[in-house]
Structure 1
């Protein structure tokens, strides 16, 4: 969680020092960002496909995961570069969290299909427990950011949003780590 907060702060400081002012992100800005990101995706896919893997399954998971996460991280960074206001950073973090949640569901489904019925039930229970943890952690993250504990300030909104993002990102990495332990 601290890493994402540091990244957001560094981007904020960089932009504050070298730019005129933040601006709202337009549809054209998003299109431009997506085009730039897709150029990076093509380059990364080529590099990753050239590497050797233990199996086609390992290759598929590795390539897809790295590309999926690259898209989210690059878009988050580009959105913050354009709109580095508190609101812009908070919105970008929440939007990235939504995208990570989609990936979490994608890789969870892949993992579930690889397990036998009994182990799939264990995975389901684990995920239910994680969702309960996530929800209570979010609640506590919000509570601890109250003015009475944190001293207040708009920065607390960024810390809460990045906390939400980090919880989901961490679980995604755990699920993909489980996938990497499987052999086809």
Structure 2
């Protein structure tokens, strides 16, 4: 596996000195280094970061191709049938990039319940205590106060296991996404 570092995209002298392309001709090596480094920068950083947008645009173009190629007058020629199949295959392969991006975004949202649930539980306990005080003022019954206290315990006992179970999972999902990104780029 080739590890790609940031110097691979900017350092032409290092490319030539370390012979990254493993060729004997110094002239060919210099040309390859001078042309490939800007191309790698474009391909790795610009296209990789905008892969979803490019995929959506290409899917739209391929849908237009399918629309044109499936007209009755074009369906009879074998070359247009092959072009239609190629266009459909492009749509399927490009939809994978969109699917991957949706899954990556979804993983980040795994931590949101872990953050919001304790906050909502705290607000619920606060409202239960306010209701308890209001009930205590309305009626001096001891039974109603005990019922409110058990509700507060129930909310706390349900919040704590959820928080302990979901918080590590949310953190793991976020870190695994970052780890996969670093592994892909080789950093």
Give the alignment's TM-score, normalised by structure 1.
0.25
Give the alignment's TM-score, normalised by structure 2.
0.25
Greater relative contact order (CA < 8 Å, ≥ 6 in sequence): 1
